[in-house]
Amino acid sequence: MAAPLASPTLIDRLRDPSEKTLGVMLLAPAALLLLMIVVYPIGKLFYNSFFDMRLSGGQGSKFIGLQNYADMMKDTGFWDATLNTVIITAVTVPGALLVGLGLALLANLPFKRQWPVRLALLLPWALPLAFAGLIWAWFFHTEYGFINDVWARMGGEPRMWLLSPVSAFTAICLAIIWKASSFMALVLLAGLQMIPKSLYEAAEVDGASKWQQFTQITLPMLMPSIMVALIFRTITALQTFDIPYTMTKGGPGNATETLAMYIHKTTIDYLDVGYGSTLAVGMFVLSLLLTAVYLRHISKQDSA
């Protein structure tokens, strides 16, 4: 009698999918991209590290087991770059935290006009790292740099800052701290503004000094923001590339070459994909270790 209900066609189902189908459809683009840019590359990275693979020669790839890893252990270039990276991280992470905290405390004062201060924190964040490196290299320029000019006015002899290992390292760390501290300050400033004013008023009534208020209220309340900022800063510091690349290109010699620069040189300049992958695995393990140390530290604090 009555015509059978038409079963929903494919088009109908696409137009108004069930909750689950819709979920799959909406998440598919993100999932595909993550597969292509993160998951597959991680797998390929470990795979490559067991091969002798040079894209320059054209002789294809040869399975060599753990040979690359053995080479890496004996490679002084790798250890120098690792040490440089660890030093940069150990100097710039606390450095950026201290400077950032100072900037955040200053910026948190009740100003009539907020925008100049806020823009002063945003500008270094928005400045590309490569540009920050170029500008700081110009500051430290031996002949015409601002630093040597000030140095000379104070009675010093002009110095070739970027051409001696220790001062080149210091200059790079200063540039990184300058660049990173403004983002730190923005995160910490947001944390500072979340602390209820009533806490300080109560402390004032109890006769607590400004310093006591800082150590007893501000710092503990700020801890979550500090930890988040530190973790991300550390992971970023381990990848340091742009600023040393634009300031010194790793020189003098390889005194300021970071692990990221060594990996870049091996892979992109020398096209040694097998060994470059092995180096990247080394870096991968290093960053996992440091993240784990931090996470443990946090969970300890939480349970304490």
Partner 1 sequence: MNGGVFSPARLRFFAAAIVVINGFFPAIWILLTSFKSSIELFRKPITYWPAEPTLQNYVVAAIEQPLFQVFMKNSVIVALLSTVVSLVVASFAAYAIARLNLKHRQLILTAIIASSMFPLVTLLVPIFETMRALGWLNSYMALVFPYVVLNLPVCTLILVSFFQSIPRDLENAAMIDGCTRFGTLWRVVLPLSAPGVFTAGILAFVNAWDEFLLALSLNSSAAMRTLPVGITLYQGEFTFPWPIIAAALVVAIVPVAIVIAIFQERVVGGLTAGGLKG
Distances (CA, A) of 25 to 17, 19, 21, 34: 9, 10, 6, 15
Q: Applying CB under 8 A, does 277 fall inside the site for partner 1?
A: yes
Binder to partner 1 among 5, 20, 155, 205 (CB under 8 A)?
A: 20
Interface mask toward partner 1 for 143-162; x: CB under 8 A = xxxx--x--x----------
Q: Applying CB under 8 A, does 74 fall inside the site for partner 1?
A: no
Q: Applying CB under 8 A, does 236 fall inside the site for partner 1?
A: yes
Q: Applying CB under 8 A, does 211 fall inside the site for partner 1?
A: no
Nearer residue to partner 1 within complex by CB, 2 or 157? 157
Site stretch for partner 1 (CB under 8 A), options 3-11, 65-73, 159-167, 277-285: 277-285
Footprint (CB under 8 A) of partner 1, residues 157-186: 178, 180, 182-184, 186
Closest CA to 257 of 266, 247, 269, 249: 249
Between CA 137 and CA 148 the distance in angstroms is 12
H helix runs in the chain, sequence order:
10-15, 19-34, 40-48, 67-74, 76-107, 115-126, 129-139, 146-153, 165-194, 197-205, 210-213, 219-238, 242-247, 259-264, 273-303
CB of 106 to partner 1, least distance (A): 4
Site stretch for partner 1 (CB under 8 A), options 2-10, 39-47, 64-72, 76-84: 39-47
| DSSP code for 16 | S
Between CA 136 and CA 133 the distance in angstroms is 5
CB of 229 to partner 1, least distance (A): 7
